[in-house]
Structure 1
Amino acid sequence: MRKQFQQDNLIGQSNALLEVLEHISQVAPLSKPVLIIGERGTGKELIAERLHYLSKRWDQSFIKLNCSSLSENLLESELFGHDAGAFTGASKKHQGRFERADGGTLFLDELANTSGLIQEKLLRVIEYGEFERVGGSKTVQTDVRLICAANEDLPTLAEAGEFRADLLDRLAFDVITLPPLRHRAEDIMSLAEYFAVGMARQLKLELFEGFSSSATQQLMDYHWPGNIRELKNVVERSVYRNADTHTAIEQIIIDPFDSPYRPTKRVKTKERQQNTAADIPTLPDEVELNSVEAAPASPAANSISFPIDFKTHCEQSEVQILKQALEAGQFNQKKTAEQLGLSYHQLRGILKKYNLLDK
């Protein structure tokens, strides 16, 4: 039986959305790889589902996997399977996603997070339609349409040597780039009403009273960095908070953390560990606290004029170190990560935090 396709973020009449839908209709019937590029929360998985269910493989398996959720070894085993005895604990043969998706479609999300080993094996599957299970020597044939997604610019990564250019060439038979919600302003209220009605049904409300003009203005004015996923959460939260009033929603609860009592200081992991009861030494009763000599101040501490904004000062120091490390590594992010004792993905996360990725 054909699975019912959910279209949570395919609601609307904006030109940006209609162009994407037309693009999908053109490429869906082909058994060629497709790349879906878009910011987080734009609905990449839903687009992949639509591609599958509009294709000739619609009655076969649609298998999906988030590549960022597993380590390299687990991801390799999950994609290609393993034979019994391949590693400790592998007591029996395990079918990977490529085997399970045979005849259908395999959707791989967060493709940019895959290692060179995984990318090499993916390239072989695309080119020859075959692979070996982990720990096995038998070649397994598979007929799978591969759809991949990423929220990063893969050509830029390929130019920097951080993603296989030959794999990118094979995957990019066609590329569907999803518009962020801020470029689909005409669709915001249609989506909001859809999510609101769905939440009202979950709460068993008799009806959804709608959005007031001020609430509508809030929804339209917000920039939606989390896109449709964020909109869904915000609308459902606002409906839930307003459920007992039986009136139109007046206030949109965008930030659930917003509170006058919200802690503003960041406690680092080491500080948390040092502040646990188990780590705090107990002084003997006869030892007075003022008898404990203070550690001499470091030269760096003496050069700072107080008061300061501690958080800003630390962030500025981190940015300076990052810039120096990037220069020392000739702006190669893999070399920079090694110099800082970080993994490649840890470094990219920090660079994103400080908007240094494109610098």
Structure 2
Amino acid sequence: MNRKYQQDNLIGQANSFLNVLDQVSQLAPLDKPVLIIGERGTGKELIAARLHFLSQRWDQQYLTLNCAALNENLLESELFGHEAGAFTGAGKRHEGRFERANGGTLFLDELANTPALVQEKLLRVIEYGEFERVGGSRPVRVDVRLVCATNEDLPSMAENGEFRADLLDRLAFDVITLPPMRERREDILLLAEHFAMNMARELGFELFSGFSEKAKNTLLDYHWPGNVRELKNVVERSVYRTNNPYVPVHHIQLNPFESAYRPTQRIKTRPQTTQKASEPLAPAINSPDNSQLTTTGTPANDHIDFSSGVDFKTLSQDFEVKLIKDALSASQYNQKKTADLLNLTYHQLRGYMKKYQLLESQQG
């Protein structure tokens, strides 16, 4: 058993976090499937590992797979295996994760990304303990404890037909919902010191001299959209940049991209116009609090110079991206609250974020 993997980041004294650990201890001995829900960086994979290593299967295989990392065909083959000749390049039989995890635990991360065919086969494994390899016709029986995780709202997806409701019913024998870092404020400095001391050891320091009051306040006041993973990165970077074991860490570098020389826009080809530099790229709109907003923060009574024509599609996209980003920031990156601010449904917001490739910065 990898002790470092099991223990890393599972530190805290907040009631919300301790309640999760109690729930894990109760669930671990059972062979029932478990669903873990949480924002990116909250430690879903660590909770899954804890479920396995506290169970009766602790000395058997523990395998993991990120469902978002493979396309439908590869995901099906990787989970359930394939027979020789099942498709071009399948020269011999391949055992999938379910077969290799027989007797142990299989952890599937990013479950919401699984296509309908894979969901159907997952349902059969849970109900009957068997499946067929890709290109096969004979059932393969397995005994696998299934633990799944996602940062999506699966009940809403099931209601909208985007996820199988019967599979959700089978998976949700019990659901572990992990609290975000902003709801574990009393754990921030505890975790920060743990990560800082580990980094000091990695750098070969004789000691770690702690954080200054300014640094502590910075850590406590930040909303941590990336949760524990982001906290770990920020603390390790701050210790490394301080580079002095005898001086407390004073400056917390929250954003490693912060620089006077950072390019702030992608270079795009635009039609030549006579627009002045001080004029906005899109007209003003009313925000939920009735204040005037523009995509560039310029006064709402400015206007666009149409004398030489404009690129309507580009301006519209820039405006929507800016509006979504501002709403995300205003709602502390809670996507449900963001949807409410914009008078959208949750799934409409997710559709816009996917369209403009904003989901990558929110997941994890």
Tell me: CA distance 1:347–1:70, structure 2 relative to 1, closer, same or farther (3 Å).
farther
The CA deviation at 1:9 is 2.3
The amino acid across from 1:28 in the alignment is A
What is the SS of the residue equivalent to 1:17?
helix
Tell me: CA distance 1:304–1:259, structure 2 relative to 1, closer, same or farther (3 Å).
closer
Match of 1:39? 39
Match of 1:166? 166
| Number of residue equivalences | 308
CA contact (8 A) 1:81 1:96 kept: yes
Tell me: CA distance 1:16–1:47, structure 2 relative to 1, closer, same or farther (3 Å).
same
Match of 1:114? 114
What is the 5 A alignment of 1:90-109?
90-109=90-109
**Superposition RMSD in Å:** 2.9
Looking at structure 2, the residues matched to 348 and 33 of structure 1 have their Cα atoms a distance apart, in angstroms, of 31
CA contact (8 A) 2:200 2:245 kept: no
* 1:242 matched to 2:242: yes
Q: Deviations over 1:288-318 (max 9, x none)?
A: xxxxxxx9x8xxx899998223665434654
The amino acid across from 1:167 in the alignment is L
Q: Deviations over 1:259-278 (max 9, x none)?
A: 0111111235xx5xx9xxxx
* 1:314 matched to 2:293: no
Tell me: CA distance 1:160–1:49, structure 2 relative to 1, closer, same or farther (3 Å).
same
Looking at structure 1, the residues matched to 358 and 133 of structure 2 have their Cα atoms a distance apart, in angstroms, of 38
The CA deviation at 1:86 is 1.1
1:349 maps to which of 346, 350, 354: 354
Q: Deviations over 1:18-75 (max 9, x none)?
A: 1101111111110000000000000000000000111111111110000001111110
CA contact (8 A) 2:65 2:108 kept: yes
Looking at structure 1, the residues matched to 346 and 115 of structure 2 have their Cα atoms a distance apart, in angstroms, of 16
Tell me: CA distance 1:352–1:163, structure 2 relative to 1, closer, same or farther (3 Å).
farther
The amino acid across from 1:309 in the alignment is L
Tell me: CA distance 1:134–1:201, structure 2 relative to 1, closer, same or farther (3 Å).
same
What is the SS of the residue equivalent to 2:106?
strand
CA contact (8 A) 1:84 1:91 kept: yes
The CA deviation at 1:205 is 0.9
What is the SS of the residue equivalent to 1:106?
strand
Looking at structure 1, the residues matched to 238 and 275 of structure 2 have their Cα atoms a distance apart, in angstroms, of 49
The CA deviation at 1:332 is 11
Tell me the TM-score normalized by structure 1. 0.79
* 1:222 matched to 2:222: yes
Match of 1:71? 71
Q: Deviations over 1:56-97 (max 9, x none)?
A: 111111100000011111100100011111111111111100
Looking at structure 1, the residues matched to 216 and 86 of structure 2 have their Cα atoms a distance apart, in angstroms, of 57
The amino acid across from 1:225 in the alignment is P
The CA deviation at 1:140 is 0.6
Match of 2:81? 81
CA contact (8 A) 2:208 2:245 kept: no
What is the 5 A alignment of 1:99-248?
99-244=99-244, 246-248=246-248
Match of 1:53? 53
* 1:7 matched to 2:12: no
Q: Deviations over 1:119-173 (max 9, x none)?
A: 0110011011111111112211000000000001100000010000000000000
What is the SS of the residue equivalent to 2:225?
coil
The amino acid across from 1:162 in the alignment is E
Looking at structure 2, the residues matched to 245 and 15 of structure 1 have their Cα atoms a distance apart, in angstroms, of 33
Looking at structure 2, the residues matched to 103 and 64 of structure 1 have their Cα atoms a distance apart, in angstroms, of 14
Tell me: CA distance 1:131–1:305, structure 2 relative to 1, closer, same or farther (3 Å).
same
Moved more, 309-318 or 211-220: 309-318
The amino acid across from 2:316 in the alignment is C
CA contact (8 A) 1:192 1:235 kept: yes
Looking at structure 1, the residues matched to 208 and 276 of structure 2 have their Cα atoms a distance apart, in angstroms, of 57
Tell me: CA distance 1:124–1:348, structure 2 relative to 1, closer, same or farther (3 Å).
farther
Tell me: CA distance 1:302–1:239, structure 2 relative to 1, closer, same or farther (3 Å).
closer
The amino acid across from 1:349 in the alignment is K
CA contact (8 A) 2:109 2:150 kept: yes
What is the SS of the residue equivalent to 2:140?
strand
The amino acid across from 1:43 in the alignment is G
Looking at structure 2, the residues matched to 89 and 171 of structure 1 have their Cα atoms a distance apart, in angstroms, of 34
Match of 1:23? 23
The amino acid across from 1:308 in the alignment is P
Note the residue ranges of structure 1 that are not aligned, 5 or more in a row: 275-294, 323-329, 338-344, 355-359
Tell me the TM-score normalized by structure 2. 0.78
Looking at structure 1, the residues matched to 345 and 216 of structure 2 have their Cα atoms a distance apart, in angstroms, of 45
Tell me: CA distance 1:253–1:332, structure 2 relative to 1, closer, same or farther (3 Å).
closer
Match of 2:340? none
The CA deviation at 1:352 is 8.7
Looking at structure 2, the residues matched to 99 and 195 of structure 1 have their Cα atoms a distance apart, in angstroms, of 37
What is the SS of the residue equivalent to 1:260?
coil
